[in-house]
Amino acid sequence: MNDAKDAAQILKDFDQIGFVQIALIVIGAWVLVRLVEKVFPWLGSKVPGRMRLFVLSLVPVLRLVVMIAGIALVVPQVINPTVQNLVAILGAAGLALGFAFKDYASSLVAGVVAIYEKPYRPGDWVRIDGAYGEVQSLGLRALRLVTPDDTVVVIPHMKIWDTNVYNDNDGQRDLLCVADFYLHPAHDAAVVRRRLYDVALTSPYLQPERPVNVIAAEKPWGTHYRLKAYPVDGRDQFLFTTDLTVRGKAVLARLGAAPAVPPAVEAS
């Protein structure tokens, strides 16, 4: 009974609610939102490129402002605008926002933890939730990752709670690169290993202070070689791996080492 009485005190009587005003406010807000969504993209197409991005970025901001203003105008048409009622409405709205933004709060806490524990830093090459690239910047809520295809990925810090973070260089300038080679078993493994080692030593991208290794593993279909070395700079990892692969293939071709044949192809 008390809850019903309190609700009745907060809400205006049915005959006091301005339904016409509410309808006009809703229609006016809808028209303004549609105008913002139409006019600003058109305006953005008429201004220079850099200004265009700024104009387009205003669309969601203005849309949010219109919606908040519309809600602020509708609320007094429905409730009795007293201090107690406003406190009750704001308290309920705060509780609702707390549930709605719990993930945001979780990301903020995870951001503080990330700054302290340093699972990634700007300049690190990391893989998180399927995205791989260089950490460009860290915010309190999220990190910005630039992929090898020059795509920016924004990842909330809360991913560290339930996702493995793979950090390739962990604050170092260089990182380990691996070039794979698959050869038919009929070859001189010692010669192949030595030549692949020389390929890495003569690469212009090599960090000479870091070790070079050639790992061989025998498979049912052939021999798998992994040429492992470090470039001078982690940003050269793809150029370095390409250089090792291209020159390694040329060396193996001169040796007459045949590539491995997959079982399915060999059977056919």
pLDDT in tens, 95-113: 766 666 677 778 888 888 8
**pLDDT number for residue 8:** 47
**pLDDT number for residue 15:** 62
Give the best-scoring range by mean pLDDT among 52-66, 76-90, 128-142, 176-190. Answer: 176-190
25 Cβ partners below 8 Å, 6+ apart? Answer: 70, 73, 74, 77
Quickly state the pLDDT bin for 177 (edges 50, 70, 90).
very high
**pLDDT number for residue 11:** 61
Which residues are paired to 146 by β-bridges?
Answer: 134, 152
Average pLDDT over residues 9-23: 69
Q: Which of 27-31, 75-79, 166-170 has the lowest mean pLDDT?
A: 75-79
Does position 194 have pLDDT exceeding 60, yes or no?
yes
Does position 50 have pLDDT exceeding 70, yes or no?
no
**pLDDT number for residue 66:** 86
Find tokens 């910047």 and name the residue. Answer: 137
Quickly state the pLDDT bin for 264 (edges 50, 70, 90).
low
CB atoms within 10 A of CB 267: 7
Which of 111, 138, 142 lies closest to 124 in space, CA to CA?
A: 138
Q: Report long-range pairs for 168-172 (Cβ below 8 Å, ≥24 apart).
A: 168/124, 168/125, 168/126, 168/127, 168/234, 169/123, 169/124, 169/125, 169/234, 170/124, 171/118, 171/121, 171/123, 171/124, 172/234
Quickly state the pLDDT bin for 2 (edges 50, 70, 90).
very low
Mean pLDDT rounded to a whole number for the chain: 84
* More confident of the two residues 185 and 173: 185
Write down the pTM of the prediction. Answer: 0.66
